[in-house]
Structure 1
Amino acid sequence: MTDGATQDYALTLDRMLDHAAKWHPEKDVATRQIDGSLTRIGYADLRERARKVSAVLVGLGVLKGHRVATLAWNTQAHMECWYGIMGMGAVCHTLNPRLTAEQLAWMIGQSEARILIVSEDLQPLAAEIAMKVGTLDHVLIIDPEGPACSAHPDLPKAKYFEALLSQVNPDGLVWGDFPETTPCGLCFTSGTTGLPKGVTYTHRGSYLHTLRQLQADVSGLNSHDVVLPVVPMFHANAWGLPYSAPATGARLVFCGRQSDGETLAELIIGEGVTIAVGVPTIWLALFDHLDAKGLEVPSLKRIMVGGAPMNAALMRRIESRGIAVQTTWGMTELSPLGTAAPPGDARSPDTAGRPALGIDLMLTDHEGTPLSRQRGHEGHLWVRGPSVVERYYGQAEAATRNGWFPTGDLAQISEDGQLFITGRAKDLIKSGGEWINPTEIEALVSGLPEVAFSAVVGRAHEKWGERPVLLVQFRDGESLEDDDLLEALKDRVPSWWLPDAVISVPSMPLAGTGKIDKVRLRSLYGAA
């Protein structure tokens, strides 16, 4: 007698698009073009085009395990390339076009990618990269703006991908014929604490991340949803939405290169978007536009935010329209989702929610020793799970200790299991031998209705070592006196935490991921 068994069914990402093509073939992916028009394609046709991408890459010599770089926006063509690269067992190395050519060339040098897929309008940046890296065999152009477009003069060998797709037949091409532990993606961190570090995603990890994201207390997507991922596909897999939407048959709406308030409003209203996803800075522009034009967005039921703390005043503005705000926390190394506030929960904008099945959390002291009490105390946050990085790309040493990854965040876990990110260890300000947490000050100031963004950085001080400086960007037409800003902090933080100076800035500098660029602020305002 033998034991029973279940089928060996590899958890590979090509199955996401296969499922959508078979069971939701007409559900469409819409992309806004630069001229404001929309292109549409059903999942079945998108899958066929993605298989043609694989056939083109095979013809160019790409094998399983090879890295293929993409420098592109949130578009249908980029999604086709994702699945075409990953489906054949190659690795999609996404590049952030908001970084410099030097940074991107360094990343390509690390990944050893020989092919670069680039959106047409990003050809000048691609040309700079190609001159610096010197090892690219092919540059393939997607997202053409029109029939009269041409390759950049410094990319004489660049080819339009569409012409190559018309010349191949994917019949006989096999997707998914590899172990589920095969790498599928490569994304470099922003490098705020040193050189960027490459995070390798696997099919298994991303598949399980998708299942975790689809839980009802997380994204809870279903086939009736229309999803607008403003979070970029070049940053942490657009939070996995190009996988989870086809996995459920939800429609996808891509905004292309434009994510201004007017563009997003047009897409949400015109396409009946039900769920929109992105960093808080995006939603400030959207709701400023809606308020200025007197527009309503009746289809929009929920906004998922992450990547930076949620402005309390902005959250109130959104929820006053009957739109739920769902706060989350994650990072590139987590693929990227870590925790989410369940939809409909009464909560503050400070909570990052709870972990879903597949992610575990632990708080430690500064030496990494677990706190004896995990609830109600601040500590250093560590995580583990099947989609959490174990080792950075190209590095021999593990990034974990005893199976746990140190996030670099300071956090508390409430008695009911809610995670509160209380700061970044690297952002703490040491003044007179004592620590000041900028995040607590920023949360209070950002809660003022006149404030769009706030940031606190340390300024060198001869006596105290460092002292906090408050930087504020006001909403259009609004202002406050320095004393009024500081009054919002009195009796709510220790008196010695009060900033020594308040500086009004016309616009807060943002990093390539849409977060406030603390490195830039420290360089501008951190000197004595």
Structure 2
Amino acid sequence: MIDGEMQAFPLTLDKFLDHAAKWRPDAEVVTGREGGRIDRIGYAELKDRSRRATAVLAAMGVKAGDRVATLAWNSQDHVEVWYAIMGMGAVCHTLNPRLTAEQLASMVDQSQARILIVSADLAPLAARIRAVARDVERLLIIDGEAAEGESLRPLVDAADGTGVVWGDFDETAPCGLCFTSGTTGAPKGVTYTHRSSFLHALRLLQVDTMAISGGDTVLAVVPMFHANAWGLPFAAPAAGARLVLPGRHTDGASLARLIAAEGVTVGVGVPTVWLGLLEHVEATGVVLPTLRRIIVGGAPMPPALMERLETRLGVRVQTSWGMTELSPSGVVAPSSEPSQAALAGRPAIGVDLLLTDAEGTPLPEQRGVEGHLRVRGAAVIERYFGDDATATDASGWFPTGDLARIDDDGNLMITGRAKDLIKSGGEWINPAEIEAVVGALPEVSLAAVIGRSDDKWGERPILLVETQAEVSDEALLACLRGRVASWWIPDAIFRLPRMPLAATGKIDKLRLRSEYGGG
């Protein structure tokens, strides 16, 4: 033979925990508990407990390819069962506890999960799911004790994980299942594979993306039930970074205590989370000197909020864009470049972007023009769970539903959602452009624009704001004059004490349309 050969090394997720346990055994996973208590465990011990949990699940009849559902907050116990499920080749189906029992039962029916692993305080919700879902046979309780279900921790304590085999399957095997939020209809299931999630995690570690290193302490506020916590439970052990998990308490005071106590260097979550932290810091004067970077995504970043965060906390805010179907990271703004709230960042290797017209034809110019955004890559969906039809076009591009521009430097700017466009008098109005201008006012915390039914024009825009300082209606509208077309100016302004948020932390435009869009 002339040609050489490389070793077979399947890209399975168990290797991340194996790596951390061997080379950073004492680096910690930290969990915030009730009453300010903090639990901590090293990666070596975490691996041991995860293998024990695999043995428990195997004894209950779980095998490769089976779906096991979790209904739990970000905690050590949740990470343990994640690796236990995925390491044995089963599929971890994460459930969002902010949805209703009926919605969750529908998802569980689709996945046919027989076991539901639950945080103790969510046991009542799990019991309602079990009462409706067809296949759920057992409730296993983590993070405490509950009146219903079996406590998993003593079973793990008593188990023997020495004979457990992880990773004995193809790297293209499914590892996770997450349903979209359903903002455009019924939620759809997105199946992640070991290979896709492995490559996605490696992309997060690149210096021009999240740039997580072994010297970092990462606070994962983004929920594990939301697109795998953006891949952080894989990326942190891959780098040997400390991973801090807030449990169910993500209010500003709780996060500030964790950041201060654990020396957090990087925080990751949606903008509304950091607004809560900022308001707490401004009210109390607490100082968080170790926090260097905040990575935001999931919703547009208001420019005024970015400036307040960077000025008051002394941090660098990195914007990003992604979606469940992308595992979820698409682009991240590098920490080495000046902050710009409007720019989401450039794509790293492994994901590519394309702008098309409404029919899917690529635009002749890809820079400086607005188009419909399509994506393809190693961690981008091919088809939805249980659906025979492909979700991509004939060339393999996935239509995101976003409107976007790409500047001359390759930075992506999301300019709106196609479904959010307002048609007024036969012409289109883009709410995102109005929201960006109003959101730049220092007095405004959050802004949303929706269409309201109008007998003459079909729809007219209205503005809803949550403010953090006094500002007149005239000032809110004056900032738009000369910045957007005069007929784009909202017809009415509604001031909300708190902007309603959807289950993923984004502004709940469905609720806003229901309450304010009827005319």
Is TM more than 0.5 here?
yes
In the other structure, the counterpart of 2:56 is 56
Deviation by residue 1:188-207 (Cα, 9 ceiling, x = unmatched): 00011111000000000000
In the aligned structure 2, how far is the partner of 1:121 from the partner of 1:87?
27
In the other structure, the counterpart of 1:312 is 303
**1:371-410 matches, cutoff 5 A:** 371-401=363-393, 402-410=395-403
Does residue 1:349 correspond to 2:341, yes or no? yes
Work out whether residues 79 and 233 of structure 2, in 8 Å CA contact, stay in contact via their aligned partners in 1: yes
Paired residue type of 2:302: N
Work out whether residues 272 and 300 of structure 1, in 8 Å CA contact, stay in contact via their aligned partners in 2: yes
Post-superposition offset of 1:322 = 2.5
Which deviates more from structure 2 when the two are superposed, residues 363-372 or residues 27-36?
A: 27-36
In the aligned structure 2, how far is the partner of 1:322 from the partner of 1:449?
17
Structure 2: state its 5+ residue gaps. Answer: none
In the other structure, the counterpart of 2:215 is 224
**3-state SS in 1 of match to 2:438:** helix
In the other structure, the counterpart of 2:204 is 213
In the other structure, the counterpart of 1:287 is 278
In the other structure, the counterpart of 2:461 is 468
In the other structure, the counterpart of 2:332 is 340
Post-superposition offset of 1:344 = 2.3
Which deviates more from structure 2 when the two are superposed, residues 388-397 or residues 313-322?
A: 313-322
In the other structure, the counterpart of 2:426 is 433
In the aligned structure 2, how far is the partner of 1:344 from the partner of 1:296?
24
Q: Which among 462, 468, 477 is matched to residue 486 of structure 1?
A: 477
Deviation by residue 1:91-121 (Cα, 9 ceiling, x = unmatched): 0000000000010000000000000000000
Does residue 1:190 correspond to 2:186, yes or no? no
Which deviates more from structure 2 when the two are superposed, residues 318-327 or residues 404-413?
A: 318-327
Work out whether residues 67 and 114 of structure 1, in 8 Å CA contact, stay in contact via their aligned partners in 2: yes
Change (3 A) 1:346 1:150: closer
In the other structure, the counterpart of 1:457 is 450
**1:82-481 matches, cutoff 5 A:** 82-144=82-144, 149-152=145-148, 158-320=149-311, 321-401=313-393, 402-475=395-468, 478-481=469-472
Post-superposition offset of 1:346 = 1.4
**3-state SS in 1 of match to 2:15:** helix
Structure 1: state its 5+ residue gaps. Answer: 153-157
Work out whether residues 324 and 344 of structure 1, in 8 Å CA contact, stay in contact via their aligned partners in 2: no
Post-superposition offset of 1:2 = 3.8
Post-superposition offset of 1:3 = 1.5
Work out whether residues 453 and 472 of structure 1, in 8 Å CA contact, stay in contact via their aligned partners in 2: yes
**3-state SS in 1 of match to 2:25:** coil
In the aligned structure 1, how far is the partner of 2:154 from the partner of 2:138?
14
**1:17-96 matches, cutoff 5 A:** 17-96=17-96
Deviation by residue 1:204-228 (Cα, 9 ceiling, x = unmatched): 0000001111000001111110000
**3-state SS in 2 of match to 1:389:** coil
In the aligned structure 2, how far is the partner of 1:150 from the partner of 1:450?
44
**3-state SS in 1 of match to 2:291:** coil
Work out whether residues 316 and 339 of structure 2, in 8 Å CA contact, stay in contact via their aligned partners in 1: no
Deviation by residue 1:393-434 (Cα, 9 ceiling, x = unmatched): 000000001210000000000011000000000000000111
In the aligned structure 2, how far is the partner of 1:439 from the partner of 1:24?
44
Deviation by residue 1:261-286 (Cα, 9 ceiling, x = unmatched): 00010111110000000000001110
Identity %: 62
Change (3 A) 1:209 1:150: closer
In the aligned structure 1, how far is the partner of 2:86 from the partner of 2:114?
16
**3-state SS in 2 of match to 1:352:** coil
**3-state SS in 2 of match to 1:351:** coil
In the aligned structure 1, how far is the partner of 2:169 from the partner of 2:353?
31
Work out whether residues 353 and 418 of structure 1, in 8 Å CA contact, stay in contact via their aligned partners in 2: yes
Post-superposition offset of 1:310 = 0.6
In the aligned structure 2, how far is the partner of 1:502 from the partner of 1:317?
24
TM-score w.r.t. length of structure 2: 0.99
Work out whether residues 121 and 146 of structure 2, in 8 Å CA contact, stay in contact via their aligned partners in 1: no
Q: Which among 493, 497, 514 is matched to residue 502 of structure 1?
A: 493
Deviation by residue 1:54-77 (Cα, 9 ceiling, x = unmatched): 101100000100000000000000
In the aligned structure 2, how far is the partner of 1:379 from the partner of 1:236?
26
**3-state SS in 1 of match to 2:45:** helix
Post-superposition offset of 1:523 = 0.6
**3-state SS in 2 of match to 1:185:** strand
**3-state SS in 1 of match to 2:380:** coil
In the aligned structure 1, how far is the partner of 2:432 from the partner of 2:34?
37
In the aligned structure 1, how far is the partner of 2:54 from the partner of 2:35?
29
Post-superposition offset of 1:125 = 0.5
In the aligned structure 2, how far is the partner of 1:322 from the partner of 1:455?
27
**3-state SS in 2 of match to 1:177:** coil
Superposition CA RMSD, Å: 0.8
TM-score w.r.t. length of structure 1: 0.97
**1:506-525 matches, cutoff 5 A:** 506-525=497-516
**3-state SS in 2 of match to 1:166:** helix
Deviation by residue 1:128-159 (Cα, 9 ceiling, x = unmatched): 10111142111100000xxxx4423xxxxx10
In the aligned structure 2, how far is the partner of 1:358 from the partner of 1:420?
19
**3-state SS in 2 of match to 1:191:** coil
**3-state SS in 1 of match to 2:36:** coil
Post-superposition offset of 1:167 = 2.6
In the aligned structure 2, how far is the partner of 1:134 from the partner of 1:335?
28
Post-superposition offset of 1:451 = 1.0
Post-superposition offset of 1:450 = 1.2
In the aligned structure 1, how far is the partner of 2:409 from the partner of 2:443?
33
Work out whether residues 317 and 339 of structure 2, in 8 Å CA contact, stay in contact via their aligned partners in 1: no
Paired residue type of 1:383: V
Paired residue type of 1:242: P
Which deviates more from structure 2 when the two are superposed, residues 289-298 or residues 422-431?
A: 289-298
In the aligned structure 2, how far is the partner of 1:500 from the partner of 1:472?
14
**3-state SS in 2 of match to 1:346:** coil
Paired residue type of 2:109: G
Post-superposition offset of 1:303 = 0.2
In the aligned structure 1, how far is the partner of 2:496 from the partner of 2:329?
32
Paired residue type of 1:45: E
In the aligned structure 2, how far is the partner of 1:342 from the partner of 1:504?
35
